[in-house]
Chains A and B, each alone.
Chain A
Amino acid sequence: MSRLPEPKVNWYLPAIFTGLGITMKKMLWNLGNRSKMQTLNYPEEKYDYSPRFKGTHILTVKKDGSLRCTACMLCATNCPADCITIIASEHPDPTVEKYPISYEIDMLRCVFCGFCEEACPVDAIRMGPEWQVAGKNGSNFIYGIQDLAYRPQLKGGIQTILDDGERSKAGI
C-alpha cells in the first residue's frame, strides 16, 4: 500500500484558522437568516419525508379486517438481515387455505432495505411512513401481527389493493 506523501509545510495554524473562519461565517449567517437554517430543532420540528420513505412495516388487511398475508415466506427468503420469522398454518376457509399464525419482525435487525415489500406477491407488507420507534428493551422491538397490522396509528389496518376473493370472482 502506498502512503500519502508527507505534507511539504508543517504549519497547522493557518488551516485551523481557515476552519474556524468558516464556522464563524456560517454561525453569523444563520443568526441573520434563521428561516433558511439547514438544521432542525428536533423533536419540536420534524422533517417531512417523501411518501416513498421506508419506515416501520405495515401488514395490510383485507376488507373483512383479516390479514392479507398468505405466509409464502418470500419476504423472509429475500430478507438480507434474516429478521422475519413466519409460522404458517392451515386456514379453516378453503379459499384462503394458508395464513400466518405468527409473523414477527425483529426491528433491531431490520435494515429497512424494503426487499420484503418488493418480494411480496400479494401486497401484504409495506414499508410505512413511521420512523420514530421507542421501546424499553430489546424485546419491545420484536413486532408481532398485532403491532404490524393493528397498531393504533394504523386506525384498524391498511387495506390491501389485491384481494384474492375478488380476483377469484373475476375469474383471474
Chain B
Amino acid sequence: MPKCTINGKQIEVAEGTTVIEAFMKLEQNIAHYCWHPGLSVAGVCRMCMVKVEGNPKLQIACNTKVTEGMVASNEDAKVKEAVEWILGFHLINHPLDCPICDQAGECGLQEYYMTYGKYDPAMAEKKVKKKKVVDLGPTVVLDSERCILCDRCVRFTSEVTKTNELSIFNRGDHAEVGVYQERPLNNNYSYNVVDICPVGALTSKDFRFKQRVWYLKDFNTICNGCSTGCNVKAYYNENGFYRIKPVYNKEVNGHWMCDTGRDMYKFVNLEKRQTSAVKNVNGTSEEYSPIQATREIGVLLRKNVNEAAAVLTGQYTSEEYASFFATMKDFGIKDFYHWVNNPEKMEEFDGLLLRGDRNPNTAGLRAEAKKANINLRNAKDLDPKKHTLIIVAGPEVQAFYPDLQKSVDAWSKSQTLVWLSSCKNPVLFAAHWIVPMKSFVEKNGTFVNYKGIEQKIKKGTTIVGEALSLDEFAIAIKGERVDVEYTSPLGGLA
C-alpha cells in the first residue's frame, strides 16, 4: 500500500493505482480527455500532466503508477503552461461551430478552454477540413472535424462491447475515427460512445438538435427497462423528457447502459399518456376522473368479491404491491396472477447488462406476494369466464409485452375488465375500465433487481397530475380519500 502526496495532501492507495486515480480519490481537479475509469489507459491526449518531484520532466497522470513516497502536483505553473499548449494543439483543427454543436454546454473542450485556454492562438495555418455529419449507424452521427482523437469510443467498442466497429483511420492530421465499410456501428450499447465522447464528434440521432442541454433539468432514477435496474439520470424540461444517461454504480451497471433503456423516457411524455379514466360500455366510452372511476370499481368489486381476480406485472414498486395486496386481501380476493411478458426468455442475458426479464421489479413482486402469503399463479392459467371482475395492473412499457392485444381481447370476455395503464393505447379499449397510472418518474418507491439489490426511485416531476399510483388506487378503491395533486388541465409538467 504505497503512500503518496497529491497537491500537498497525503493518501494511501492500493498497489498499482495510477496517479490520476489518486487525484480522483482526493477529488482534485485534473484535466483529462482520453482517460475513462471504465476503459483501459491510452495516454494519447496528454492533458493530465503532473509534476512528480525528483523527475525532470512532466508525466501523464493516467499512465504513471503511484510509488511509495511519491509527491505529485498539478498546481505548478509549469504544468499549467504545458496543459495550455496541449489544449492549443487539440484546438488546431477543431472547427468553431459551437453554435451548431449539440455538445455545447457539456463539452470538455469548452470547459477546459475556460481554465487552460490560450486565448491568443499561435496557429497561423489553415484548418484541415474533414467530413461532417457522417452516418455511423442507426444511432450515432460522427463529425470528424470536431474529433480530438482521444479514442475512447474505439476502446469502448473493443473492450466493453467487443464488437470492434470503430477504428482510427489514416495518419497525422488526416487521422479520423470511422467504421469499416458495410459494418455500421450497430450494437445495443452504441449510445454509450456518445456519452463518453468528450467533444461533440459523436452525437446521438435520438437527441440531436431536439434541445440545448442548458435547458434541461435532471434527476437520478432507476431504468425500468429490465431487471438489471441500471442507475440512470433522466433529463427533462417543461416540454417533456428528452434523454436518459447512465450513472455509475459499481454493483449494478458500472458506467454503461443499453440502448433499449435509453428509450424509456419515450413512454412517460404527455402525448403518450392516458390522462383520464375511461369507461367503455357497448361501444361508447365515457370519461371519468380517476378517483371517481376507482370508487365505482370499488363498488363493483364489493359485489363480485368471490369471482374477482387481480393480474400483476413486475413494473410497479414494492411499496405499491404491498399496499395493493393488503387492500385486496381486505376485500377477500383470493386469485392473484403474475403476468410475464416472455416466460421462455426470462433467464436470457446478453452478457453485459440487458436481461430477458424486461420488468424492473419481478423480484419485488414475488417478495411482496410471499410476505402477504399470496400464491401468484401464471396469468396463462387465467380463465376469464370464471371471473366476473379482473383487475389488471398493466405494463408501463407496453412494447415489451407482445401478447398485449391477445391478453386484452381474451380477458375482456369477463364481465368487467379493469385495466390500469400509464400509456394510452387503442388496444386497451377492449377493456371495460381504463384507469391512468403514474409512470416511474412520477412516484417514489423501490425496485428490487434480479440480484435482490433494493434501489429507490424518486419522484422527479409530475406529468399527468390526476394519475394514480397502484397504492393510491388501492386506497381509492376502498372509498377512502386520496390527495391528488391537480396541476394544469392536462397535467402539464410541474
Interface residues, chain A, with chain B CB atoms under 8 Å away: 70-74, 77, 88-90, 94-95, 97-98, 121-122, 164, 168, 170-172
Contacts and interface: CB of A to CB of B under 8 A. Distances in A.
Q: Which secondary structure dominates where chain B touches chain A?
A: loop
B129 A98 contact: no
Given A171-B126, A171-B127, A97 B100 contact: yes
B344 to A, nearest CB: 41
Nearest to A120: B99
A170 B209 contact: no
Interface of B: 96-100, 104, 125-127, 129, 131-133, 208-210, 212, 214-215
A97 B133 contact: yes
10 contacts: A71-B100, A72-B98, A72-B100, A73-B212, A88-B210, A94-B132, A98-B209, A122-B99, A168-B129, A172-B126
B99 A72 contact: yes
B227 to A, nearest CB: 36
A164 B95 CA distance: 11
A137 B76 CA distance: 64
A171 B129 contact: yes
Contacts of A73: 212, 215
Given A71-B209, A89-B209, A95-B132, 5 more contacts: A72-B104, A97-B132, A97-B133, A171-B125, A172-B126
Q: Which 8 A-B pairs have the closest CB atoms?
A: A171-B126, A72-B99, A94-B133, A88-B209, A98-B100, A70-B99, A94-B132, A73-B212
B66 to A, nearest CB: 43
Residue among B98, B129, B209 with max Cβ neighbours from chain A (10 Å)? B209
A73 B104 CA distance: 11
- Helix, strand, loop or mixed for chain A's interface? loop
B347 to A, nearest CB: 41
Contact of A74 (B99, B125, B126): B99
A170 B104 contact: no
A157 B277 CA distance: 52
Nearest to B132: A94
Contacts of B132: 94-95, 97
Nearest to B210: A88
A90 B209 contact: yes
Nearest to B134: A94
Contacts of A170: 126
Nearest to A92: B133
Contacts of A77: 212, 214-215
A89 to B, nearest CB: 6
Residue of B97, B99, B126, B215 contacting most chain A CB atoms (<10 Å): B99
B99 A121 contact: yes
A71 B97 CA distance: 12
Nearest to A69: B99
Contacts of A94: 131-133
Nearest to B125: A171
Contacts of B129: 168, 171
Nearest to B100: A98
Contact of B96 (A97, A98, A172): A172
Nearest to B145: A168
A170 B129 CA distance: 11
Contacts of B215: 73, 77
A128 to B, nearest CB: 22
